[in-house]
Amino acid sequence: MTEHRLLLCTDMDRTVIPNGEQPEHPQARPRFSDFCKQPEVTLAYVTGRHQQLVKQAITDYQLPEPAFAITDVGSKIYQIVENNWLELESWEKHIDNDWNGNNHQQLQHLLNDVPHLSLQEPSKQNTHKLSYYLPLHVDQNSVIEQMEKRLKAKDIDASLIWSIDEPNDIGLLDVLPRNATKLHAIEFLQQHLGYRHNEVIFAGDSGNDLPVLGSSVASVLVANASDEIKQAAQQLAENNGYADALFLATETGLNMNGNYSAGVLEGVWHFAPNFRDKL
Ligand SMILES: [Mg+2]
């Protein structure tokens, strides 16, 4: 990467929010905030959280204000202008076709009696996101298989995204339009802003980050990610032919510990040499 501007896209929970088991280095978040203040850096949060919970996290954890927020696992994109969150309607239109004319309620009806699924709270649902809880002792793959069969029969083009809510010890399963993923949303935002491919860096830590971590987007996996995710991300990146676009943060990088935002900054150091003197 030899460019002088950067679209820094980062997951929130356990990536810049230090809400995992591993310790956060005391300098990590202050350095991350200072880095993001530079005019050459455009910060976008990419998260499963909805708008209100993103704002809550920014306040609770003193995180830098973003220029953009890709929320609800990619089903919404907001531009933030002087504290106003403006929804990108072009994104909404882009993903609307995938559900083949079915709305949230119709999809819910279709998946109603799949065993073990329980609907998440209304605040976690939106026009293009149907979200369930699934207990961790249940084999998620067999549940996903049953859901896929039903969706396919109705010609619905959906992505089923599995992740784990560690603090609450429960599985999360999101049904989204096929194109409403973190990866497609990042690519859409990049094009929308006219950024080149080598001006984008992504950081993440868990299951719903995998499609980006294994893609051609320059991506860093923070050091606090589980060994299982590290292996899965490396395997996926290799299979897709993008092993060079994945970087695993280390325990010694930038004299911090590679966890959370320290790992994000280490990814910038790795992929964007022009920004090294700004870290
Ligand atoms: Mg995360």
CA–centroid distance, residue 165 to ligand 1 (Å): 9
* Residues 49 and 187 reside in one and the same domain: yes
Clarify whether residues 121 and 83 are in a common domain. no
Cα 140 to middle of ligand 1, angstroms: 19
- The reply to whether 190 and 69 lie within a common domain is yes
On whether both 186 and 267 belong to a single domain, the answer is yes
Calculate how far, in angstroms, residue 150's C-alpha sits from the geometric centre of ligand 1. 29
Please tell me whether residues 132 and 190 are part of one structural domain.
no
Report pLDDT for 136.
96
pTM to 2 decimals?
0.86
- Residues 150, 187, single domain; the answer is no
What's 51's domain CATH number?
Answer: 3.40.50.1000
Distance from C-alpha of 47 to C-alpha of 41, rounded to nearest angstrom: 19
1 belongs to a structural domain? no
Phi, psi of 85 (to 5 degrees): -100, 110
In three-state form (DSSP H/G/I as H, E/B as E, the rest C), the secondary structure along 93-113 is: HHHHHHHCCCCHHHHHHHHCC
CA–centroid distance, 200 to ligand 1, in Å, is: 19
Any domain includes 38: yes
Which residues lie near ion ligand 1 (Cβ < 5 Å)? 11, 13-15, 205-206
**DSSP helix/strand/coil, 194:** coil
> 153 CA to middle of ligand 1, Å?
32
Please tell me whether residues 232 and 108 are part of one structural domain: no
CA of 195 to the centre of ligand 1 (A): 24
Q: How far does the centroid of ligand 1 lie from the alpha carbon of residue 7, in Å?
A: 19
- Domain end: 177, 197, 214, which one? 177
Q: Are residues 107 and 154 in the same domain?
A: yes
Ligand 1 center to residue 230 CA distance, Å?
A: 13
- Per the structure, how many domains does the chain have? 2
Q: How confident is the chain (279 residues) per 10-residue block, as mean pLDDT?
A: 83 97 97 97 96 97 98 92 94 89 93 95 91 96 96 94 89 93 94 96 94 97 97 98 98 94 98 94
Does 198 lie in the same domain as 68? yes
Q: Could you tell me the sign of the dihedral formed by the alpha carbons of 97, 154, 186, 26, in that order? A: positive
Range of the domain at 111: 98-177
Does the residue 169 lie in any domain? yes
Domain end position, chosen among 122, 144, 177: 177
Give the contacts of 134 (CB within 8 A, at least 6 positions apart).
116, 117, 118, 140, 143, 162, 170, 171, 172, 173
- Counted residue by residue, the chain has a size of 279
| 59 CA distance to ligand 1 middle (Å) | 18
How does pLDDT run across 50-103, given as a tens digit for each residue?
999 999 999 999 999 999 999 988 889 999 999 999 999 999 888 988 998 899
Domain-located, residue 80? yes
Q: Based on the domain organization, do 189 and 251 belong to the same domain?
A: yes
Give CA separation, 153 vs 108, 132, 233, in Å.
15, 20, 31
